[in-house]
Amino acid sequence: QITLKESGPTLVKPTQTLTLTCTFSGFALSTRGVGVGWIRQPPGKALEWLALIYWDDDKRYSPSLKSRLTITKDTSKNQVVLTMTNMDPVDTSTYYCAQASLSSWSQYFHHWGQGTLVTVSS
Amino acid sequence: QSVLTQPPSVSGAPGQRVTISCTGSSSNIGAGYDVHWYQHLPGTAPKLLIYGNTNRPSGVPDRFSGSKSGTSASLAITGLQAEDEADYYCQSYDTSLSGFYVFGAGTKVAVL
């Protein structure tokens, strides 16, 4: 059974750095073709992909947020960490991590965490 | 503005068939990248509904089906049920500056 769970602060102040941890089980991030991504959803808006880390430690970021994002993995702990700098109220969202299945022409998010709501407010 | 275009909403009576379109471009769907669909109920995690254009993960009813042609894809729900009322998102891979993993803006399915 594959599970993912997001953890981190529920409230951050503007300009602060957000650090979210995704703890997963049931799969190995060292397996070829596997990745873990972060996706967010502002209240009442659509899903937005943020970042993804591949089994070989390659990383991809949303171009619009690339300067603010860092994604890392700790394979031994089965964790992926996302940091987002210079938080703003518009970053208020539910943040999801998800296991990605990755091949040359097909990349999708198979299993998702329950999500964590992060509010940015002073 | 999303790279993948979906209608904001569709509706149907119980038992009817509804379809949701997802229109992309030559940098994503038209380039040959697969389209995937997710069902999202408020307050829950999104659920993979269709992957690789037409494939259903284990446990997804065969009332849900996907197709792809050219720069577009579609999700069809036949025998619409009250429990199908949710938001549906298409997703693909994009090679332009818009990003790598792109989602549509979502379609709200209402069961009348």
pLDDT per position in chain A (122 positions), as tens?
999 999 999 999 999 999 999 999 999 999 999 999 999 999 999 999 999 999 999 999 999 999 999 999 999 999 999 999 999 999 999 999 999 998 889 899 999 999 999 999 99
Which of A47, A49, A101 minimises the CB distance to B99? A49
Query: What are the structure tokens assigned to A49, written together?
Result: 């992909």
Higher pLDDT, B15 or B42: B15
Say if the Cβ atoms of B106 and A47 lie within 8 Å.
Answer: yes
3-state secondary structure of B35: coil
Chain A residues whose beta carbon lies within 8 Å of the beta carbon of residue B41 = none
Q: Does A59 touch chain B (CB under 8 A)?
A: no
Other CB atoms within 10 Å distance of the CB of residue B66? 23
Cα–Cα distances (Å) from A45 to A42, A110, B14, B33, B79, in that order, read: 5, 21, 27, 25, 28
List the single residue in B with minimal CA-CA distance to A94: B43
What pLDDT shows up at residue B2?
87
What pLDDT shows up at residue A104?
84
Say if the Cβ atoms of B33 and A110 lie within 8 Å.
Answer: no
What pLDDT shows up at residue B108?
98
Surface of A (10-29) touching B: CB under 8 A: none
pLDDT at position B1 over 80: no
pLDDT at position B30 over 90: yes
Higher pLDDT, B98 or B23: B23
Query: What are the structure tokens assigned to B112, written together?
Result: 């009348």
Query: What are the structure tokens assigned to A115, written together?
Result: 């999500």
Query: What are the structure tokens assigned to B100, written together?
Result: 């790598």
- For the stretch B48-107, pLDDT in tens is 999 999 999 999 999 999 999 999 999 999 999 999 999 999 999 999 876 799 999 999
Give the per-residue SS3 of B54-105: CECCCCCCCCEEEEEECCEEEEEECCCCHHHCEEEEEEEECCCCCCCEEEEC
Please tell me the distance from the alpha carbon of residue A117 to that of residue A93, in angstroms, as a whole number: 6
Q: Does A5 touch chain B (CB under 8 A)?
A: no
Please tell me the distance from the alpha carbon of residue B111 to that of residue A50, in angstroms, as a whole number: 32
